[in-house]
Amino acid sequence: MFYLGLDLGQRRDHSAIAVLERWDAGRAYLGVAMRCLELRYVERIPLGTPYTGVVERVRRLVQDPQLLGQVAVAVDATGVGAPVVELRLGCEVMAVSITGGERENQQGAVWNVPKRDLIAGVQVLLERGELKISRRLEGSWALVKELLDMRMTSTGLGRVRLGADGGGEHDDLVIALALGCWRVQRRGNGFGTSRLPGVHG
């Protein structure tokens, strides 16, 4: 099964795509089948690409023979993302509104998910060794840099900002990855048993 996370940028932000594959490791640990996630594709879409172009790029990916019929999409529906969610991609699409709130909840067809929970989901999978990111994958170094740059900072008045450290830095690839990881975990796919390195050669 494949999971595609789509972070929709605005005028000054890139849109980004991450595709994860979930697979069985082929052996069991304490009687539980070991499973892991592998990042198969990551892309930062050039600034200025219209949303129709972004959607068309995603449509081509989900209709690729390797993914066709076995891919689920989680798309950033915050602000400008809402109309894109309504477009038909020929696969299951879950809309996620990224919030600064305290807890996840669902309102109609949209899931409201705190940004810190999305990022924490990636962190947990990496720490457990359940998420593999190959250095050989095109775009992986940009993603790893974004992961290393993520910081939680206080903005005053009790508010917390979670994002890339420093002005003008990107976090779009991390958000796309986090959306894909969130979508996997929504189904309770038996994670928690594999012990594979997070970033490997």
CATH of the domain at 159: 3.30.420.240
- Mean residue pLDDT of the chain comes to 78
**Mean pLDDT computed over 71-80:** 85
pLDDT tens, residue by residue, 24-53: 665 555 555 556 889 999 999 998 888 888
Q: Quick check: is 200 in a domain?
A: no
Task: List the domain range (segments joined by +) for residue 110.
Answer: 2-192
Provide the percentage of residues in the chain whose pLDDT is more than 90: 30
**CB-count burial class (<10 Å; 0-12, 13-18, 19+) for 26:** exposed
Position 196 confidence tier, pLDDT thresholds 50, 70, 90: very low
Cα atoms found within 13 Å of the Cα of residue 95, Cβ hemisphere only = 19
**For residue 78, what pLDDT is reported?**
82
Residue 169 reports pLDDT greater than 80: no
> Does a structural domain hold residue 53?
yes
Separation between Cα atoms, residue 11 and residue 27, nearest integer Å: 47
Take residue 163 and report the two structure tokens written for it: 């994002």
| Nearest alpha carbon to residue 87 among 78, 97, 77 | 77
156-164 average pLDDT score: 50
Q: Per-residue confidence at 168, pLDDT binned at 50, 70, 90?
A: very low
- Under the banding of pLDDT at 50, 70 and 90, the label for residue 21 is very high
Asked, for residue 198, whether it belongs to a domain, the answer is no
Q: Indicate the number of domains in the chain.
A: 1
Q: What would the pLDDT profile of 98-119 be if each residue is shown by its tens digit?
A: 988 888 999 888 899 998 899 9
Name residues whose C-beta falls within 8 Å of residue 96's C-beta, 6 or more positions apart in sequence: 74, 75, 76, 77, 78, 110, 111, 112, 113, 118, 179, 182
Q: How many CB atoms lie within 10 A of CB 65?
A: 6
